[in-house]
Structure 1
Amino acid sequence: MDGSPQTALLVMLIAAAVILFLTTVSLKSTHRIGPTEVGLVTKRFSRRRLADDNPVAFAGEAGYQADLLMPGQRFKLWPVYSVTKFPWVQVPAGEIGVVIAQVGAPLPIGAKSARYRPEFANFSDLRSFLAHGGEKGVQRPVLPPGTLVPIHPVAFVVITAREVFGVPVAPELQALAAHRELTPAAFGLTPERLRVMVISPHGDRDVIGLVTVLEGEPLPSGDLASRLGGFGDITAMEASADTTDAEIIDVLLGSKNELHNNYQDFQAFLDAGGRIGLQHDPLLYGAYLLNPFLVMVELVPMLVVNQGQVAVIKAFVGLPTLDTSGTDFKFGSIVRPGHRGIWQEPLRTGKYAINPRIYAAELVPTFILTLNWANLMSTAHDLDARLEPIVGKSREGFVFTIDLQVQIHVSDGRAPRVISMVGTMLNLVNEVLQSAVGNHFRNTLQALEAIRFIETRHEVQQAAFTAITQYLAGYEVETKGVYIQDVVFPPELVEVLTHREIANQQRATYEEQQRAETVRVQMEKARGTADMQAELAAAAVSVEISGNKAKAREAEAGGQAAYVRLTGQAEADRTQAVGLAEAKATEALGLARAAGFQAQRDAIGDVPTALVALANAIAEGKINIVPEVLVTGGSSLDGLAATLMRALHEGKVPLPQQDGRIPQQGRG
């Protein structure tokens, strides 16, 4: 070459180009990585090619390089390498970061997440991850809130509630990332599931978290939920005769969550024998970092047993059913805690973190339960919400509406047997009591007249108490009282009763008026008595004087009467003595005559004796021989003979008797 100006110019241009190229290469090869950034190196040219299933180069292959550029001034020769800056993965407070590995060994068949080893740390060392057997897919641990770590943006995709870190290799996700539309929804997640799970009271309600695990070995046949270790510990406790039901319940309601840090260490959960599906042990109050791809939590109310209640537990998991109720009980199985069936020991007052999906609790009031068959229900419970007033007809067809109150009691020791028979307390009220009480009162009303029911309301109530007591005894429920609260009568009966009551009230009014008039008369009499008190006093004195005089006369008359009585008695005694003497004389005379007549009869015969007696009678004037009617003609002897014959014929001249006396005859 000569030293012509053209040559010099050419050399200068070449030198300038070289300098420009070198400057350009130097500038493009020098990268300033910020303090919270990493540089992703991409190699454009290489004789080696990546495997189809690996997007990151570890041995100088073309493509994304495994080694990142850390913060500071870094040099990578351009154009062989290109560098893309990515922010460090930062997880805000209250959120978690879910890590998805796009490099590593494939997952085992059926696995949904990759095994985790402590060597993986926070996934910031990609070579260590692969060297210790890291697998592709969802990683089991999550990044906690506040994490700030340089993670390879191609080897791992980190999902938080606000953004997605990394470069997805799936074509459909790459398109979304190119348009800056890559969100948690692209991975089937919502922002809420990427936040810290906080379990705390909801107002005045206590809650627990029911856990459902989405990966693990399948449950044993017939099991509904997974309990670490199964129920082998319960079997061991039952082998001891000293173990009580309460102790078994404490173990069942206890938690084994400490073995896997409350499902936060999912790898430890699986290593401890955790199974897929619903979990036996719930989560209590706290904040938990749970992988949303592996663990789901449902908040449900905690079982709260208040004073005056017990909770009867129906267990759907546990050891096989072993009935302890005896052969006489025909209403299901009563079992010890830890077995499937209704536990023979209820839960007393307290709060229990028990899974309601596998342990159904029926709250049974143990206080005296008041049930109202009325339009207003009890404020202490809602068991009588469906009870209505009882409607029935009397014998005459009157329709009654009765508001009724029934008080029952279920003892805590009998509660499991009651629930085994009826299922729930609501069934006891709506299916057992409602029909029994309603039918009893309807039958009673139908057999009574309306007025009779009203008059014997107390007896009807007592009969209902006896009948319901006997009926509920079959369900081991005590009846404490049956009360008829109110009775709504038909209008026509009310009208009749109203008229009757009005009449009764009027009668009562008249009686009161009569009593008032009587009192008024007595008052007027008292007033008149008071006004005439002086005269009454004088009259009383006069009465007393007259009484004294009357007593004097009475005494005088008494004396005279005594004198007369004594005198009369003496005269009577004298007369009796005289009469007795005369009677004795007459008797003696008669006996003498009788003896003479008898002797005369014996001597002269009956007829002559009669003629002699007749002559004596005529002589004594006992027979009238003068005719009452004088008839002329004939002789006087004929008249005398006729008279005599008539006297004999008429019995006026009797024959002498045995004592000699002739009976006295009156005149014709």
Structure 2
Amino acid sequence: MPLLDVALQNGGYLILLIPVVILIYQSVVIVGGNEIALIERRWFGSKMPQGRVVALGNEVGIQARTLGPGLHFLIPFIYLATKSMFTEILENEIGLIESVDGSSIPAGRIFAAVVAGHNSFQDGEAFIRNGGQKGPQIEILPPGKYRINPYLFKLTKGHVTEIKDSEIGIVESVDGAAIQEGKIFAQAVEGHESFQNGDAFIKNGGQKGPQIEIIPPGNYRINPYLFKVTKSMATKISEGEIGLVESADGAAIPAGHIFATVVPGHNAFQSGQDFITSGGQKGPQTEILPPGVYRIHPNLFKVTKAAAVVIAKGEVGMVTAQDGAPIPMGRLLAQSVTGHSNYENGEAFLKNGGQKGPQIDVLLPGTYRINLNLFNIQIAPAAVVEANKIGLVTALDGIPLPEREYVACPVVGHNDYQDGSAFLTKQGQRGPQLDVLRPGTYYINPFMFSVAIDDVAVIERGQVGVIVSNVGEDPTEEMKKRLGSTQAGASIEEGKEKYVVPKGFRGIQEEVAGPGRYYLNRRAFMAYIIDTTNITIDWDDQEDTRFDQLTVISKDGFPIQVAVKVVIRVRPDQAPYMVAKVGSIDNLIQHVIHPMIDSSFRNQASTASAMNFLQSRSEEQTKAETRARVDLEKYHVECVSVLICQIKLPEDLMQTQTKRIIAEQQQEMYKMEQKSQAERTEMEKMRATADQQPTLVASEIAVKVATQKKTEMITLAEGTAEAKALEGTGEGKRLKAIGDGEASKIAAIGEATAQAYSKQQEAIGEEAIKQIKIVELIATAIENGKIKIVPDVLVSGGGTAGDGLMGQLARLLPGIDLNAMLKKQGAAPEIKG
């Protein structure tokens, strides 16, 4: 029984223990390592205030606090725990928080104020107690794991803002103070760490709207609800380019100016706040950006790329400033100022008093970084004067020319007009210049000087140049009288050719220019080229003559045409006076010599009959030359000669004279012909005798040949006899007798043949002997068969073959029996008709 009692007693304890175990089990909450426990109080607590969503402390409802990993005891039936996972923000993410509960955000604000002690929103109860506000939070969560109550805080993940190396970040704030009136961009504030600290931005007075600061390359944890970040490319100015800048914000440009004043400290417009703070002005900027990469706010500064100014070799750059002081009245070009480094430093140009408008300084060949909004550049070719050319210069600016002057007084130091400022400083005059440009290349400002190309003055051999000067002093009256008295035939009172003056005075120069090339300014000096060699003037009916032949009337009323040639010469020392008298050789010929010669021959022809004028040609020529020499001396010209080339009388007058002369010539011709015929008869006799000489010579030669042959045969016989004699005495005698007989025979034949040739030659002549000899040779050849006179086939057109071939042979070979020869040679040929 005691055991039963013990068992019953233990069972009662077990029954009592089970509820305890169940209570304890329900009171224990185990939270894992990556979990949190959300608590809800269901009973036995105070009611939450109106408008609250999450409970604090003893308030009934979903609690603001949470339970972290571990073992926790909660009173069952009063608390209900629900597990949730940690909130994890990855490396390239940020956490954006919006509070479901808290106090209200003040009017005019968008984001809740930052409160302390909530441990990155992990302590919701501290957030509520410390005055955390309902709505989007300005703070963000960096990468990590967080125990955040999802009933209290709504979390949205966002991405880290990445600005690459070639980019910049442009920021616009959704919240903050209002931008000052008249401003476009919010002023910069400190402490926001490139907009990563929104709380510092708001507390330090950050303004709502587009921010003047930009974000450089890097990764940023920026609240996208507070700051809207737009990416833009950095400004890159390549080599050979410049950046022209225009500011969208800043102070106003002073009245009368177009370009903003340069301010320091903005780091090539990369610090917009420093630009504004230093008094940077709105509008086109004077400064430019050289090649490089710039982090410039594109909404604050508009950067326009432009090519650098390149002035090539053989070119010159003309500059026109768009801003600066006004050009003084009466001036065409702006004065030169220093320090602007070939207009690359626009600030120095404006500060040093640079004037608006076309500039007197030019840009030489090279590359320049010039603000093309401030300076307009025009490129023109440099002035190139080629060989055998000169450049005539006209200044477009300077002091006015004196009233009577046509060419400006020369000044020095302007480096062949390439330094326009020096030209003006030394009181250079406006208008045509005396100094010329010799062959070469000149970098001259076309705004200041115009250059016209002209030929050099060339004086060839046999010429002189008479120079007429448009510059210099006027000769005095005393000088004019002295000059006049030195001339042939001129009295002091007459003062002829008084405009011939010494060097340095205005007028025709007394000293002439000899052969050569001269860089002569034709505006200041006119050169008259005068030939000092003989000049021939023709009056003829040829196409290339200057004047038609002269037509004059004789005393007896016949028209006479006279071809005349006049040769004149101007001495070098008399050339200036000739120019002063008549102006030029052409004027001399047209207006002096031509009428003088025409009048002279008319007067001479009127005093003689036509035939007498023709017959006294030499005397008429001498008269005309004498008169021309006297007349031309007055014009300082030497008459070398006057020649009458041809005189043409009327045709009917010439016919009578011609017929008379022809009759006389015919009589002479008949006499000469009779004499010629007599001489011809004598000549024929002599020619006949001469024609027989070849025959006589041939006969003599034949005799000599026969004699020589006889001697030859005798000599051969004697030699043979002597050889035979050596064989024996007896045989020798016999052979000697035979040899003597043969020799006598040969001698007799030779003598007979010689005599026969002589007789034949006397009888029939040498030519006949030759023909006979030829016939004999042919006959022998035919007989021996060496010549075939009968062809194998004979083609005949009619008759018999003998009528043609045999007939010809019979005539050629008289006395020869051709039929016998044919029989001897063979049968007759086949005849084809």
Q: After TM superposition, where is structure 1 displaced by more than 6 Å over at least 4 residues in a row?
A: 3-7, 514-517
- What SS is found at the alignment partner of 2:407? coil
- What SS is found at the alignment partner of 1:281? strand
Residues 150/8 of structure 1: CA separation in 2 closer, same or farther (3 Å cut): farther
C-alpha separation between the residues in 1 aligned to 2:462 and 2:152?
Answer: 112
Q: How far off is 1:391 after superposition?
A: 1.8
Unaligned runs of 5+ in 2: 1-98, 102-149, 160-173, 175-221, 263-278, 486-491, 683-833
Q: How far off is 1:457 after superposition?
A: 0.5
2:403 aligns with one of 213, 221, 231: 221
C-alpha separation between the residues in 2 aligned to 1:282 and 1:478?
Answer: 37
* Conservation of the 8 A alpha-carbon contact between 1:210 and 1:300: yes
* Conservation of the 8 A alpha-carbon contact between 1:316 and 1:358: yes
Q: Show the 5 A alignment for 1:262-661.
A: 262-322=416-476, 323=480, 324-326=483-485, 327=492, 328-376=494-542, 386-510=546-670, 512=672
Q: How far off is 1:288 after superposition?
A: 1.1
2:384 aligns with one of 183, 198, 202: 198
Please name the residue that 1:565 is paired with.
none
* Conservation of the 8 A alpha-carbon contact between 2:100 and 2:152: no
Tell me whether 1:154 sits opposite 2:373 in the alignment: yes
1:615-654 CA-to-partner distances (Å, cap 9, x unmatched) read xxxxxxxxxxxxxxxxxxxxxxxxxxxxxxxxxxxxxxxx
* Conservation of the 8 A alpha-carbon contact between 1:144 and 1:289: yes
- What SS is found at the alignment partner of 1:61? coil
* Conservation of the 8 A alpha-carbon contact between 1:215 and 1:275: yes
Q: How far off is 1:150 after superposition?
A: 0.6
The letter of the residue matching 1:135 is Q
C-alpha separation between the residues in 2 aligned to 1:94 and 1:20?
Answer: 57
Tell me whether 1:74 sits opposite 2:294 in the alignment: yes
1:22 aligns with one of 213, 224, 229: 229
Q: Show the 5 A alignment for 1:8-157.
A: 8=154, 17=224, 21-24=228-231, 27=232, 30-58=234-262, 60-145=280-365, 147-157=366-376
The letter of the residue matching 1:436 is M
Q: How far off is 1:54 after superposition?
A: 2.4
C-alpha separation between the residues in 2 aligned to 1:50 and 1:492?
Answer: 105
**RMSD of aligned C-alpha atoms?**
2.9
C-alpha separation between the residues in 2 aligned to 1:308 and 1:154?
Answer: 62
Residues 52/118 of structure 1: CA separation in 2 closer, same or farther (3 Å cut): closer
C-alpha separation between the residues in 2 aligned to 1:136 and 1:277?
Answer: 24
C-alpha separation between the residues in 2 aligned to 1:484 and 1:261?
Answer: 61
* Conservation of the 8 A alpha-carbon contact between 1:50 and 1:62: no
Q: TM-score, normalization: structure 2?
A: 0.51
Greater share of strand residues, 1 or 2? 2
Please name the residue that 1:210 is paired with.
392
C-alpha separation between the residues in 1 aligned to 2:465 and 2:634?
Answer: 22
Q: How far off is 1:48 after superposition?
A: 2.4
Q: Show the 5 A alignment for 1:227-266.
A: 227-228=409-410, 259-266=413-420
Q: How far off is 1:275 after superposition?
A: 0.7
Q: How far off is 1:423 after superposition?
A: 1.1
Give the fraction of aligned pairs with identical amino acids, expressed as a percent. 31
The letter of the residue matching 1:21 is K
1:434-465 CA-to-partner distances (Å, cap 9, x unmatched) read 00001111222222211111100111101111
- What SS is found at the alignment partner of 1:414? helix
C-alpha separation between the residues in 2 aligned to 1:279 and 1:199?
Answer: 16
The letter of the residue matching 1:39 is G
Unaligned runs of 5+ in 1: 161-193, 230-255, 379-384, 524-668
Residues 7/432 of structure 1: CA separation in 2 closer, same or farther (3 Å cut): farther
The letter of the residue matching 1:129 is F
C-alpha separation between the residues in 2 aligned to 1:269 and 1:212?
Answer: 12
Q: How far off is 1:406 after superposition?
A: 0.9
Q: How far off is 1:265 after superposition?
A: 0.9
Q: TM-score, normalization: structure 1?
A: 0.63
- What SS is found at the alignment partner of 2:436? coil
* Conservation of the 8 A alpha-carbon contact between 2:260 and 2:280: no
* Conservation of the 8 A alpha-carbon contact between 2:241 and 2:305: yes
Q: Show the 5 A alignment for 1:146-185.
A: 147-160=366-379
* Conservation of the 8 A alpha-carbon contact between 1:387 and 1:430: no
C-alpha separation between the residues in 2 aligned to 1:410 and 1:5?
Answer: 127
Aligned residues: 448
Q: How far off is 1:422 after superposition?
A: 0.8
Deviates more, 1:134-143 or 1:464-473: 134-143
1:191-241 CA-to-partner distances (Å, cap 9, x unmatched) read xxx11221113xxxx221111111111111201001325xxxxxxxxxxxx
Q: How far off is 1:405 after superposition?
A: 1.0
C-alpha separation between the residues in 2 aligned to 1:394 and 1:99?
Answer: 79
* Conservation of the 8 A alpha-carbon contact between 1:386 and 1:430: no
* Conservation of the 8 A alpha-carbon contact between 1:199 and 1:286: yes
The letter of the residue matching 2:393 is V
Residues 418/153 of structure 1: CA separation in 2 closer, same or farther (3 Å cut): same
C-alpha separation between the residues in 1 aligned to 2:562 and 2:653?
Answer: 15
Q: How far off is 1:410 after superposition?
A: 1.2
Please name the residue that 1:620 is paired with.
none
Q: How far off is 1:268 after superposition?
A: 1.4
Higher relative contact order (CA 8 A, sep 6+): 1
The letter of the residue matching 1:483 is L
1:226-258 CA-to-partner distances (Å, cap 9, x unmatched) read 1325xxxxxxxxxxxxxxxxxxxxxxxxxx5xx
- What SS is found at the alignment partner of 1:282? strand
C-alpha separation between the residues in 2 aligned to 1:366 and 1:274?
Answer: 40
* Conservation of the 8 A alpha-carbon contact between 1:402 and 1:488: yes
Deviates more, 1:48-57 or 1:428-437: 48-57
Residues 37/513 of structure 1: CA separation in 2 closer, same or farther (3 Å cut): closer
